Amino acid sequence: MREAEAAGYLQLAPKTLARWRWAGKGPNYSRLGAAVRYAVAELDIFIASGKIER
């Protein structure tokens, strides 16, 4: 799923995901050229890990 969709799924701002990628934290993602994509399974693992910082 795209960054905006993943942010909505996690109930976060898209900029939060961008900052987490820059900082090397957050859910695992794939980069396809310049595009960033998140797998639903990876988002679910991230949620289950309890690592969401609010």
Quickly count: other Cβ atoms within 10 Å of residue 17's Cβ.
Answer: 20
> How far apart (Å, rounded) are the C-alpha atoms in residues 53 and 45?
15
Summarize pLDDT for 4-40 with one digit per residue, the tens.
Answer: 999 999 999 999 999 999 999 999 999 999 999 999 9
Entry pTM: 0.86
